[in-house]
Structure 1
Amino acid sequence: MTEWISGAARDEAAASFHGAVDRLTTRIPGAYTRRGASGTRLVFTTFPLATLNTVCAGHDLDLGEVERCAQELSQTGAPWSILVRGDVDPTLRRLAGRYGLTGTASLPLLVWDAMPLPSAVSAGATARKVSGAGSEVFAAALAAGFGMSAEVARLLALPTLLDAPGMSGYVLDLDGEAIATGFNVLVGDHVGMFNGSVAPQHRGKGHYRALVTARLQDAVASGARHAFAQTSPMSRPLYESLGFRLAESWTYLMSAD
């Protein structure tokens, strides 16, 4: 159940999420975003991940606008999805079906207001920022944490992202090895928490908590007063233990494959 959070706070978090994605696409060769007159957003990152290439339906659903964006994304050859905040209108689901988007994935949008954070101890490990010069280290840790290919990990670790103003990559080092990752994007007084991962053999030992805490502390020191994150079922309890709350659920209509 969604905890009580004002509609304005939910809208601000959603707008900040989209603002972060807009900023990211300006740093990725070939990527772009566009917003239609009715509020439909088209996001193309070039990455081969359906949740990163989306048609985001506006609050006032305009099926014609959604379809024009869907036609455009469907021609890119990249996996893509239609994103809806909350419940899916049946007519939109039928439109998605015409493009083969018969699968569904739901992700929570969690929000956090700046508050004192508990000390997070990760024995023998140290959190640090990673610049573009360390992109290969960041990519290797991403690949290990997410179980993704090195090729995709390198796209998420582009030096143009790691060196961008208001964007920060992080790793947690243990015995000389980067074992956990995170990526922050500042948008006004919000910070987006992206690309959080920890290598499977290092899970359950407090390492991920230590890195998330360090990232929040760094963001607050940089002026953030709120944070947002879309989490997996595995990481959601950790975020909630640090004070994150469910704002709303987002539905992605995508290929069932």
Structure 2
Amino acid sequence: MTSFRLDGRVAVVTGASSGLGAHFAAVLAHAGADVVVAARRHDMLEAVAGTVEAAGRRCLAVPTDVTDPVQCRALVDAAVSELGAVHVLVNNAGTGYGGRSDRDDLTRTSHLFDVNLLGAYQVAAAAGRAMIAGGGGSIVNISSALALATTDVPQAAYSASKAGLLGMTRDLARQWARHGVRVNALAPGFFSSEMTAPLLAHERGAASVHAATPLGRVGRLEELDGPLLLLASDAGSYMTGTTLGVDGGMAMH
């Protein structure tokens, strides 16, 4: 279906060095977009850039720490300068950990919020300015089913940061609708990735995930492809301020 295509568009993906971010970059490239990949680990970004270029698309790798507002603005400026515009932002950079809140290290908690929420806000603000100047675009904030549900594994800080993204999504959607900028959230359940590997490798953690998911399994990365492209492309042109769950029924449960 041509409405899911992104030919002639430029997409920025943060947290693109591995896991969901690297996968999203490849999906967008195969849909026709040129892609700017951003993360702190430059060596891993280069490998992702090779995947995008193998799909026949241009790729720009920009080492970026989303906790630094100067680097967030520089990322968007580089995309506009080198590739001409920013039409799509996949706001994916994130970190996480589990553990009881009464035993938490608040320094670690502060860093988590700096990456997951403040970082996402800073990148969205920079991209939003470019999209408004360019006549519109689509922002997809990567939240989590844990913004809406819980498991037996305690991870309140992560859940709170991802819930904050949903409030940010709704407000930015309201602010920027008149400029043609759509802002939505994608809320995945549990998928195999670098971040979830320690949890899924632990017997109790894996059992908790399966018990919390009515479909009884973790997701396959390709099961995120259609939802991502729906929100990023013209196929979702009448969607803004919404949260699309891809979680095996976890939020319902």
TM-score scaled by structure 1?
0.31
TM-score scaled by structure 2?
0.32
Q: Whose helix fraction is larger, Structure 1's or Structure 2's?
A: 2
Q: Decide which structure has the larger Cα Rg and report it.
A: 1
Larger RCO, structure (CA 8 Å, separation 6 or more): 1
